Chains A and B, each alone.
Chain A
Amino acid sequence: AQSVSQHNHHVILSEAASLELGCNYSYGGTVNLFWYVQYPGQHLQLLLKYFSGDPLVKGIKGFEAEFIKSKFSFNLRKPSVQWSDTAEYFCAVGSPNFGNEKLTFGTGTRLTIIP
């Protein structure tokens, strides 16, 4: 079965620091990759997604992620974080080979930005 690993459980950064959150998945076939974010008190929402094409994808609020197939990774990056980026971030993987409807999530990374 497919799995998703997020090794950073809690990351604390100061404003303007650069961010990279790790995400690795276990499936070797065709994948769709996602980052979802949950801001305090808000719904879980889509941050960015990769289906095919350019492995570097850009999302909302200045976030980007790079799909590296050889490393089974889809790390999330932001060059300069803001206090408003404080949230929990979830990586997820889906595939037509899993069944169209199934999306597997990682355990999440809690990001705290210190002003």
Chain B
Amino acid sequence: SQTIHQWPATLVQPVGSPLSLECTVEGTSNPNLYWYRQAAGRGLQLLFYSVGIGQISSEVPQNLSASRPQDRQFILSSKKLLLSDSGFYLCAWSKTGQPGANVLTFGAGSRLTVL
């Protein structure tokens, strides 16, 4: 069966420091991978998605970047964190092709607090 791992679960970082959140998927190959940010009252905002190694699509301009160095690994990064980067970040995966590409399986999330 497929599993998705996301870490760290909780992170407190000072403004201006770098960020690296990691996500890996097991039990499948060539998944679509996603980073969402969940904010209270604002739902889930799609930040990045990837359909393959090295292929990253950004949905909103921001202080963050994503990379996919391996088929089942997705990394969310920042060189210098801002206060506004605080939030709950969710990694997700889906199968390729319609309609399976729309059925997401989410990780446990990473709560980032920038002070």
Contacts and interface: CB of A to CB of B under 8 A. Distances in A.
> Which range holds the interface residue count of chain B?
20 to 34
The winner among B34, B43, B45, B49 for most chain A CB atoms within 10 A is B43
Contacts of A103: 46, 102, 104
Interface stretch (A11-19, A38-46, A55-63, A68-76): A38-46
Nearest to A52: B99
Given A43-B106, A44-B106, A101-B94, A32 B99 contact: yes
The prevalent SS among residues of A at the interface is strand
A100 B97 contact: yes
B110 interface: no
B61 interface: no
A107 to B, nearest CB: 4
Contacts of A36: 104
B102 A34 contact: yes
Contact of B41 (A4, A9, A101, A102): A9
A28 B90 CA distance: 29
B115 interface: no
Nearest to B50: A101
Interface string B19-43: 0000000000000101010000111
A100 B101 contact: yes
Interface in A81-110: 90, 92, 94, 96, 100-108
A94 B106 CA distance: 16
Given A100-B98, A101-B51, A102-B49, A46 B103 contact: yes
- Identify the 5 closest CB pairs spanning chains A and B, nearest first: A94-B102, A107-B43, A105-B44, A100-B101, A44-B106
Given A101-B101, A102-B59, 4 more contacts: A101-B32, A102-B46, A103-B46, A103-B104
